[in-house]
Structure 1
């Protein structure tokens, strides 16, 4: 485990690199990982050994790159190893990407350009947007901001604090496999069980820290109340607290009906106040960025407290 001062310094550097560069424009490592995962799934998801095959596939996809990262860090000189930690955290983070995808949706909705907003929203969500109205698009974007704040930012920061760059890498890869395999469909119900459950376990603490942070940085009373009363209704044990606390903190209503594969799915309503609109997307992004600042501040405080004081 890295010392707290080094963790704080490297985490701050990783966040700064992500804000400066964003995700790689070409040859993103996740593209190669996704291709590998598709090949592993095609080979092992044959209908036999179900959950065991899914667990084996998860291990074959995630463990080799994480072990390589650990070996590389152990073999390199200190300065180079620190650079690898920062690069791995940059790879795992998606704060700049989240803003890059959601801010144009907010602008399009503010300009009443529904066609553009539908096209942009379709790039980031799995629900159908071809006939979505302004409220539905705003709900989707706010939900994406709050949930991906945890999945693409705070989960990675948490595991970086626990296990450095390899920890952040393991979290990002596990989260990616959940997005690829963690569906309750005939094809993935048994095979994807391990990917979904492992992601739930890795996300359990980060999600609740994220939900608490969202609540503290907005309408705290509403955030806590929505988390307590509404989160248990949501299917996901981790997305529920994050989105309920975030929606309450922002005084916005999300959830409700959404179209998936041609059918309307009635989801629980989360939050309080007014239905989502363009300005709530911006507010959700601001909440995510305030939470990043809070988490880095906490790491810095932990670093300062860990330094021996000689009076």
Structure 2
């Protein structure tokens, strides 16, 4: 059942990609902002209460809806799981940006490539060189593919047998709350940071292994072991190092931003990033998705034959 849900959700997302600015996401973000305004008194426990208020009702709706619909009809339970997995994934959100940036760079339209990258990442891109645009696009694509595809799929698969699509809902909500509340010095967002760190621990490493298997295994593992801790965020460093090694491309390094040179550690190995590597990066993500599908298929067959 999980395999069928996964395939149908991926197919639906390819046919009709959903924007991260859709009404459901925007409503959740507005609710998160309202909770922060009303509950943020500068204490850790306030962040815990706000997180639970934001997430627990969604998990209850996802799980209870699955149980009730599945009791009425297996097909209704299947449709519910496909629908919620579809709304929590976003493969096309980054692959579409990849395609646009790659096309603009191939046509030597640097202004268009910079604009597309700025819309995607929210960073200043007006001073980036073509190679820096390509490098930053690969980095953002690697991180977004993890957030919107691999981590979401991992938690969907872990909880699918007992709670249907609740795992995917849990991860997407936790990720959005960390983006809104986390990464700051105040205590309110510390719980959101901690929850996402726990949820990320296993899928980050499984995704990196997938990149290694579907790319240059030796270089990917070498970069992971020797370079990941250079990055400011270790989990992101694991993903970028493994992807850079698997692709044979150098990531990180300096960027021209905000009228200065932003120094960053070199990560990956091989040739400097360029527009030629953008299709390869998308291909690596797709191959890794297919690897996960194959693993789920083998597991399902094993369960069926046991």
Q: TM-score range by the shorter chain?
A: over 0.9
3-state SS in 1 of match to 2:125: coil
- Which stretch shifts more, 57-66 or 291-300? 57-66
Q: Which has the higher helix share?
A: 2
Preserved CA contact (<8 Å) 1:105 1:121: yes
- How far 1:25 moved relative to its partner? 8.7
Is residue 274 of structure 1 aligned with residue 267 of structure 2? Answer: no
Instruction: Return the alpha-carbon distance in structure 2 between the equivalents of residues 158 and 169 of structure 1.
Output: 12
Other-structure match for 1:109: 105
Other-structure match for 1:61: 54
Task: Note closer, same or farther for the CA distance 1:274–1:261 as it changes in structure 2 (3 Å cut).
Answer: same
Instruction: Return the alpha-carbon distance in structure 1 between the equivalents of residues 248 and 14 of structure 2.
Output: 27
Task: Note closer, same or farther for the CA distance 1:170–1:25 as it changes in structure 2 (3 Å cut).
Answer: closer
Aligned residues: 299
**Structure 2, unpaired ranges of 5+:** none
Other-structure match for 1:297: 294
Task: Note closer, same or farther for the CA distance 1:26–1:227 as it changes in structure 2 (3 Å cut).
Answer: closer
- How far 1:238 moved relative to its partner? 1.6
3-state SS in 2 of match to 1:191: helix
Other-structure match for 2:89: 93
Pick one of 141, 147, 151 that aligns with 1:145.
Answer: 141
Other-structure match for 2:182: 182
Instruction: Return the alpha-carbon distance in structure 2 between the equivalents of residues 155 and 125 of structure 1.
Output: 19
Instruction: Return the alpha-carbon distance in structure 2 between the equivalents of residues 23 and 282 of structure 1.
Output: 22
Matches within 5 A, 1:13-92: 13-23=8-18, 27-47=22-42, 49=43, 51-76=44-69, 77=72, 78-92=74-88
Preserved CA contact (<8 Å) 1:44 1:53: yes
Preserved CA contact (<8 Å) 1:222 1:251: yes
Instruction: Return the alpha-carbon distance in structure 1 between the equivalents of residues 46 and 168 of structure 2.
Output: 25
- How far 1:26 moved relative to its partner? 7.6
Other-structure match for 2:221: 224
Where has structure 1 moved over 3 Å in runs of 4 or more?
24-28, 258-265
Instruction: Return the alpha-carbon distance in structure 2 between the equivalents of residues 268 and 243 of structure 1.
Output: 11
Preserved CA contact (<8 Å) 1:147 1:242: yes
Task: Note closer, same or farther for the CA distance 1:60–1:261 as it changes in structure 2 (3 Å cut).
Answer: farther
- How far 1:183 moved relative to its partner? 2.0
**Normalization by structure 2: what TM-score?**
0.92
Task: Note closer, same or farther for the CA distance 1:264–1:177 as it changes in structure 2 (3 Å cut).
Answer: farther
- How far 1:241 moved relative to its partner? 0.9
Task: Note closer, same or farther for the CA distance 1:173–1:264 as it changes in structure 2 (3 Å cut).
Answer: farther
- How far 1:126 moved relative to its partner? 3.5
**Structure 1, unpaired ranges of 5+:** 1-5
- How far 1:265 moved relative to its partner? 3.9
Task: Note closer, same or farther for the CA distance 1:213–1:25 as it changes in structure 2 (3 Å cut).
Answer: closer
Matches within 5 A, 1:193-204: 193-204=190-201
3-state SS in 1 of match to 2:267: strand
Other-structure match for 1:168: 168
Instruction: Return the alpha-carbon distance in structure 1 between the equivalents of residues 81 and 257 of structure 2.
Output: 39
Is residue 8 of structure 1 aligned with residue 37 of structure 2? Answer: no
Task: Note closer, same or farther for the CA distance 1:35–1:166 as it changes in structure 2 (3 Å cut).
Answer: same
Instruction: Return the alpha-carbon distance in structure 2 between the equivalents of residues 178 and 166 of structure 1.
Output: 18
Instruction: Return the alpha-carbon distance in structure 2 between the equivalents of residues 139 and 296 of structure 1.
Output: 28
Preserved CA contact (<8 Å) 1:154 1:210: yes
Preserved CA contact (<8 Å) 2:18 2:87: yes
